Amino acid sequence: MSTVDAPRRPRGDDDPRRIRAVAHVGAAAGAAFATCFLTGLISHFLQHPTSWFAWPTHPVWLFRLTQGLHVATGFVAVPLVLVKLGLVYRRLFVRPPLHSVRLLVGHLLERVSIGVLVGACLFQLVTGVMNVAQWYPWPFFFPDVHYAVAYLAIGALAVHIAVKLPLAQRYWHAPPAPVDTSSPLVDRRTAVTAAAAAAGVVAVGIAGQSVTPLRPFAFLSPRSGRGPQRLPVNRTAVQAGIAAAALDPDYRLTIAGPDGATRAWSLAELRDLPQTTATLPIACVEGWSVGAEWTGVRLSDLLRAAGTTTSTDVRVVSLEPVGGYRTSVLPAGFVADDSTLLALRLNGDVLDLDHGYPCRLIAPNRPGVLQTKWVGRIEVLP
Amino acid sequence: MTVLRILLGAVGVVAAGYGVSLLTELPPPLLLVIAEWVVAGVLAHDAVIAPLGVAAGWATRRWIPAPWRRPLVVAATCTVAVALLALPLLLDRPRPVNPTLLDRDYPLAIGLALAAVWIAAAAAGLRASWVRTRTGRRMVRADVPE
């Protein structure tokens, strides 16, 4: 062990092998954040539709993939960021260059930008991981804040990459020879191996919440993937306070046309209409997804029976009296899709109360939170 | 390269500025809470997690024989990452009444995963020790970081 007592280099961070390790682990963390950001944008614009964001109805598994990736890359980013920050931690204690105002200003600017970068990235990881487990010990609305801070994190990351690109490029491949025996507490290969191994272990721990065959191994997933009728529940009937309204024998599904004319169906009448079966996943914004077989009335058939158009957006309204997700707007392309149903049955049985009895919306390739449950009213928008 | 860097920097500044503009639409008391969470995250890392990591790294170099260091650091990193991500699953905290949420035996599942990590690390350490013993003094350079 000749390494402990070796003389210190004046500036340990100039150790090329450390810079190389930082570049490699940093690139992986950056890729994880970029994937997380882009997939997060998809989820955001599905929940806040804008005219320029068109999302297809097929393939039906696309949102399942993007949102599964969103949560998985966020989880995997945790060990990558930990190792990355560990490798550069000593930079926190670099003495400011007090002999030159110009250098000092640059130094302080870098400190502030790194502070924003680290603060925003850790905030995104912490709040995201807690949200997936439905833990909200804060007064703000998670989606709005997670969305806003995402721009801060990705912006600070882009600036950071712009600043560090030449350094990373210079040391990306085999570094020049001199072996610095003083600085690293761990060597480059150990750091990269640790980052890769921990990322792999975390990936196995979370991927199974979206990739069904890996489900038994998903030791970090907040859900087992089981539930009533072999499907987990994001928000139960008890949580929604919906049981009385949903079980009311006088239940009617009302369709309101763009002119305000309404027509109503009882549950028995809905069951008498032609039934369609579709295999579609519930893909939750929290990352979990499970495929299921749904049977019910095709939405476009129902709109035609109501004598109204199938070529405009519709608003689907739940029986829930309150709640941020009691309504959802279904874009015209999804309204017309043959696999978009008002489901009455799930995996062969009458829809469970927790899954939206008496009837729920199920459309392809959308966030589960927009697959409105306990539907009471459908408004055809002009 | 220079163009790419300027472009990346400009896009970054615009994106971060947009994030700030979105945040400023929130009521100031909420902004304060968000700032607290951001600062708490940085402090938790810089004042607790990272110093513990440095201490662990120092102790590893001081007391752990060379062939065992890499497996130990790798397994410890896996353990810390898993432990942090497991906090919302294991901590005693307010939980929604939803039987399909947090419905695994997490202590068992996480224990098994970490057992697998440490068994792999032990195997790697044993193998490295064995290689070193067999090759004798030719491997003494393994003491020096790569």
Q: What is the pLDDT of residues B45-60, one digit of tens each?
A: 999 999 999 999 899 9
pLDDT at A10 over 60: no
pLDDT at B146 over 50: no
> Where does residue B122 rank: exposed (0-12), middle (13-18), buried (19+ CB within 10 A)?
middle
Tell me what pLDDT residue A178 has.
53
Per-residue pLDDT tens for A62-75?
999 999 999 999 99
Measured between beta carbons, the chain A residues lying within 8 angstroms of B45 are 85, 118, 122
Asked if B107 reaches chain A (Cβ–Cβ under 8 Å), the answer is no
Type of residue numbered A213: P
Tell me what pLDDT residue A225 has.
92
Asked if B90 reaches chain A (Cβ–Cβ under 8 Å), the answer is no
Tell me what pLDDT residue A323 has.
83
Per-residue pLDDT tens for A132-185?
999 999 999 999 999 999 999 999 999 999 999 999 998 898 665 555 544 445
pLDDT at A93 over 70: yes
pLDDT at B139 over 50: no
Q: Phi first, then psi: what are they for B16, rounded to 5°?
A: -65, -40
pLDDT at B13 over 50: yes
Is the ipTM here above 0.90?
yes
Nearest-CA residue of chain B relative to A119?
B38
Percent of chain A with pLDDT over 90: 82
Tell me what pLDDT residue A7 has.
40
pLDDT at A196 over 60: yes
Q: What is the pTM of this model?
A: 0.93
Q: Phi first, then psi: what are they for B67, rounded to 5°?
A: -65, -20
Mean of the per-residue pLDDT values for chain A? 91
Tell me what pLDDT residue A13 has.
52
Asked if B126 reaches chain A (Cβ–Cβ under 8 Å), the answer is no
Tell me what pLDDT residue A183 has.
44
**Nearest-by-Cβ selection for A118 from B42, B76, B97:** B42
With contact defined as beta carbons under 8 Å apart, do A37 and A74 qualify? no
Nearest CA-CA distance, residue A361 and chain B, Å: 21
Tell me what pLDDT residue A186 has.
61
With contact defined as beta carbons under 8 Å apart, do A96 and B106 qualify? no
A-proximal residues of B, 8-47, CB under 8 Å = 8-9, 11-20, 22-23, 26, 29-30, 33-34, 37-39, 41-42, 44-46
- Vertex B24 angle, CA B19 and B25, to 5°: 105
Tell me what pLDDT residue A71 has.
98
Asked if B3 reaches chain A (Cβ–Cβ under 8 Å), the answer is no
pLDDT at A244 over 80: yes
Q: Which residues pair with A378 in a beta bridge?
A: A255, A316
Token pair for residue B140? 């003494």
pLDDT confidence tier of residue A34, bands split at 50, 70 and 90: very high
Nearest CA-CA distance, residue B123 and chain A, Å: 15
Distance CA A320, CA A325 (A): 9
How distant, in Å, are the alpha carbons of A130, A131, A148, B30, B95 from that of A141?
Answer: 13, 11, 11, 10, 17
Nearest CA-CA distance, residue A221 and chain B, Å: 8
Tell me what pLDDT residue B86 has.
97
Token pair for residue A306? 């109501």
Nearest CA-CA distance, residue B113 and chain A, Å: 7
pLDDT at B70 over 90: yes
Q: Tell whether the torsion through CA atoms of B117, B120, B126 and B128 is positive or negative.
A: negative
pLDDT at B8 over 70: yes
Tell me what pLDDT residue B136 has.
64
Per-residue pLDDT tens for A267-325?
999 999 999 999 999 999 999 999 999 999 999 999 999 999 889 999 999 999 888 88
Tell me what pLDDT residue A176 has.
59
Per-residue pLDDT tens for A185-194?
567 889 999 9
Token pair for residue B74? 């790798």
A227:B100 CB<8 A: yes
Closest CA to A337 of A59, A62, A64, A53: A59
Mean pLDDT computed over A364-370: 96
pLDDT at A78 over 60: yes
A187:B18 CB<8 A: no
Distance CA A371, CA A329 (A): 10
CB pairs under 8 A between A and B: 258
